[in-house]
Amino acid sequence: MKKTRIMVVEDCQITAKTIKKSLQSLGYEVVDIVATGEDAVGSCFLYEPDLILMDIEIEGDMNGIETANEIRTSFDIPIIYLTALSDDDTLEKAKVTGGFAYLVKPFRKRDLYANIEMITYAHMMKKKAKEHEVKYRNIFDNMFDGFAYYKIVFDGNNKPVDYIFLEVNDIFIKSLGINRKNVINRSIKEIFSDKKYNSFLNDINVYGEAAADGVKLHIKEYYLEYAKRWFSITISSPQQGYLSTLLTDITERKNSEEKLKYLTFYDKLTGLYNRAYFEEELKRINVKRQLPLSIIIGDINGLKIANDVFGHKEGDKLLINIAQKLKESCRNEDLVARWGGDEFVILLPKTAEEATEYICNRIKKTCQQEGNGLIKTSIALGSITKNNENEDINQLLIKAESKMYKNKLIESKIAHEMIIDSLKNALMERTHETKLHIDNIKKISLQIANYIGMSQKSIQELELLAEFHDIGKISISNTTMNKTAMLTEEEWDLLKQHAVTGYRIASSSKRLIPIAEAILFHHEWWNGRGYPLGLKNEEIPIISRILAIADAYDVMIHGRAYKKPMEPNEALQEIKNCAGTQFDSKLVEIFLKVMNNIK
C-alpha cells in the first residue's frame, strides 16, 4: 500500500522531529522537513507531496498562511495548519487560504491521524474516487472517529436548506445511535428527526450557512445525553457545496479532566476543598463587596489518639465525620476547606462577627453530637472578621490561627479527658469490664496496699489502675472479646496487644501518665514469661503485681464467656499454686491473709 507522502513545514527542530516520529509511527512517509516558506515552495517542486503540515508562524519572509497561499496557486496539495495560536484573527486568515484543517499544538497523535486521513480521503475522492475507492473505503470505515460527508442543498437565494448524506462510516452511526439502513442520499432532517438530535442538527444548520459564506471550520464539544458520552464535533467545508463532520469520542478525556480537577481542587479523603483551592478563592473573594469577610480555623481534638490507638483508618473516619459536621453547620455560600492534617478553614463572605460567632457555636454543638467513630468528636475554633478593605487578609489568617491554638490549649485537657472517659464507658458497654469487676479488684488491691503500708500517692495510682488497666481492649473487636470458644493463635496475639494500646492511651492523658507503665506491665509474670516485654521480679511495678493478683482472682470466681466461674476456695488455691511463677510470692501471702480477713 502506497504511503501518504507528507511534507512538514516547521521552524522548531524539536517539534519537527516529534511530528516526524509520530507520522512515521502512524505509517506515513515524511518526504521533507523545511523551516521557511521559500523552502516549502521549492520542496513542492522537488517532492510533490500528497499533503503538507504547515506551521503558521515560521521563519523567513513569508509566514505559514502566505506560504500556503503561494503553494495553492501552483499546486493542488491539501494543507493542515499546525499552530499554537488559536485566536479568531489567525483562524480567519487560515480559512481564506483554503487550508483543509487546523490543529492547535500540542495535539494528540490520534487527532493528527484523524485529520490527515479525513483530508487525504476528501482530497483523493475529488481526484481519484474510482481508482482508490476500495483502498480508502477500508481506511474510512476503520477510522478512530466517526465521519460523515454531506451535500448542501441551497434555495434560490443560495441559502442552505438541507443536507444530504453522501458518505458515513460505522463509528459515526454507532456514536449517534442511528440506523445505517438507507442513510446514504437521504436528508439529515429525516435521519435526525428525533428531538434528542436537535443540538447536533442545529449546529449543522448554523455552520452550513456559515460554510456557504466561506467559513471552513467549526469545532464544538458537547455532551450527548442519549449516548451518555462527550463528543468533539468538527464541522468543515472541504469544498464549495459540501460539508463533512468528524465525530470524536472525548469521554475518556473529559473524565480525566474532571478527575484532575477534583484532585486539583478537592481533598481526596474528606471531599472538602483543599488548601490550594482555598487560597485561590481567598484572592478572589478578598474584595470590598464581600465585606465583612470572616474566617474560621478549626483543629480537631483527639486525632492523634485515634491514629495511635486505633490506626489511621479510625483517624480518617474522625476526619470525615468532622468534615461532614462542618458542612452541615455552614451555609451554601460558605467555603469549607481542609487546611492540612487535622485543621480546617472556613471562609464566610458578607458575614459579620456576631453571625460568625453564631456559626462557631453551631459547629461546636454539632461536633459534640455522637458520630459513627470510636472517638468522641470535638474541635477547637478561632475566628476573625475583616471589616476594612485595607486590612491584610494574611495577617488576619494568622490571628485566627493564633486564637484557635489559644482555645485549643484551654479546651484540650477537658476534651482529652472526655475522650478517655468515653473510651472507658464504651469498653464497659462492649465487654465484661463491668463496674462490679472494677470495684472488686479495687477493693482487694487497696486492702493489700494498706496491709503493706503503701504511700497515699501509690494507693491513688492503684485506684486509677484498677479502673483503666484494660482500657486498651477498646481496640479489640467485640467478636474476639466475647468469643466463647478457644481463641486462635492470631486472635490471642491480637488480644495481648491491649497492654501496649492501653499504654499509648494513658501516655496521651495527663491524668493517666503516672500509671501508663503499670498498664503496660500488668500482664507480666514474676518468672518473666508474661507479656508484652517479658519483665520479671521487681522489674514489674508493684502496683502492676498487686493488680494482677486481684484481677486474676475476680475473673476466676466470676468467670468469662470462655471460662466457667470457680468456687472462691478453688480460686484462692489456684492463686497460691501460681506463687513464684505468675505472681509475686510475698504478695500472694499477703493476698491470702487479706482474703481471710475479708471472709
pLDDT in tens, 148-205: 888 888 887 878 888 888 888 888 888 777 776 678 888 888 887 777 777 777 777 7
**Residues 38 and 61: beta-carbon distance below 8 Å:** yes
CATH of the domain at 201: 3.30.450.20
* Domain boundary residue, one of 411, 446, 480: 411
CATH of the domain at 93: 3.40.50.2300
- Nearest Cα neighbor of 232 from 188, 175, 183, 189 is 175
User: Is 36 a member of any domain?
Assistant: yes
The confidence score (pLDDT) of residue 159 equals 81
Within this chain, do residues 455 and 512 fall inside the same structural domain, yes or no?
yes
The confidence score (pLDDT) of residue 300 equals 86
For the CA atoms of 122, 126, 128, 131, the dihedral, rounded to the nearest 10 degrees, stands at 70
Characterize 534-562 residue by residue with b for buried, 16 or more Cβ atoms within 10 angstroms of its Cβ, and e for exposed.
ebeeeebbbbbbbbbbbbbbbbbbbeeee
DSSP characters for 64-129?
HHHHHHHHHHH----EEEEES---HHHHHHHHHTT-SEEEESS--HHHHHHHHHHHHHHHHHHHHT
User: Is 418 a member of any domain?
Assistant: no
Within this chain, do residues 222 and 249 fall inside the same structural domain, yes or no?
yes
CA 571, 577, 578, 584 dihedral sign is positive
The residues pairing with 297 across neighbouring beta strands, listed in sequence order, are: 345, 382
Q: Which helix (H) or strand (E) holds 294?
A: strand 293-301
User: Is 216 a member of any domain?
Assistant: yes
The confidence score (pLDDT) of residue 133 equals 58
CATH of the domain at 478: 1.10.3210.10
Within this chain, do residues 467 and 519 fall inside the same structural domain, yes or no?
yes
**Residues 4 and 53: beta-carbon distance below 8 Å:** no
- Helical segments of 332-455, H only: 353-368, 393-430, 435-451
Q: What are phi and psi of 292, to 5 degrees?
A: -70, 140
DSSP three-state, residue 46:
helix
Q: What is the pTM of this model?
A: 0.53
pLDDT in tens, 380-420: 899 999 999 899 999 999 999 999 988 888 777 777 777 77
Within this chain, do residues 164 and 125 fall inside the same structural domain, yes or no?
no
* Domain boundary residue, one of 356, 379, 411: 411
Residues of the chain with pLDDT under 50: none
The residues pairing with 236 across neighbouring beta strands, listed in sequence order, are: 217, 244
The confidence score (pLDDT) of residue 429 equals 67
* Domain boundary residue, one of 98, 133, 168: 133
528 sits in the region (left: phi over 0; alpha: psi -120 to 50; else beta) called: left
Within this chain, do residues 157 and 251 fall inside the same structural domain, yes or no?
yes
The rounded radius of gyration (Å) of the Cα atoms in the chain is 40
Within this chain, do residues 280 and 251 fall inside the same structural domain, yes or no?
no
User: Is 420 a member of any domain?
Assistant: no
**Residues 339 and 297: beta-carbon distance below 8 Å:** yes
- Nearest Cα neighbor of 531 from 539, 521, 541, 540 is 521
Within this chain, do residues 218 and 161 fall inside the same structural domain, yes or no?
yes
- What is d(CA 492, CA 523) in angstroms, rounded to the nearest whole number? 13
User: Is 423 a member of any domain?
Assistant: no
User: Is 426 a member of any domain?
Assistant: no
User: Is 416 a member of any domain?
Assistant: no
CATH of the domain at 285: 3.30.70.270
- Nearest Cα neighbor of 54 from 24, 74, 75, 77 is 77
The confidence score (pLDDT) of residue 544 equals 93
User: Is 139 a member of any domain?
Assistant: no
- What is d(CA 79, CA 244) in angstroms, rounded to the nearest whole number? 16
Within this chain, do residues 164 and 62 fall inside the same structural domain, yes or no?
no
- Which range of residues forms the domain containing residue 6? 1-133
Within this chain, do residues 93 and 230 fall inside the same structural domain, yes or no?
no
- What is d(CA 393, CA 384) in angstroms, rounded to the nearest whole number? 10
Within this chain, do residues 334 and 468 fall inside the same structural domain, yes or no?
no
DSSP characters for 464-526?
HHHHHTTGGGGGS-HHHHT--SPPPHHHHHHHHTHHHHHHHHHHT-TTTGGGHHHHHTTT--T
**Bond preceding residue 292 cis, omega within 30 of 0:** yes
Cα-based distances in Å from 500 to 326, 471, 528, 530: 34, 10, 17, 13
Within this chain, do residues 339 and 192 fall inside the same structural domain, yes or no?
no
Within this chain, do residues 291 and 407 fall inside the same structural domain, yes or no?
yes
Q: Total structural domains in the chain?
A: 4
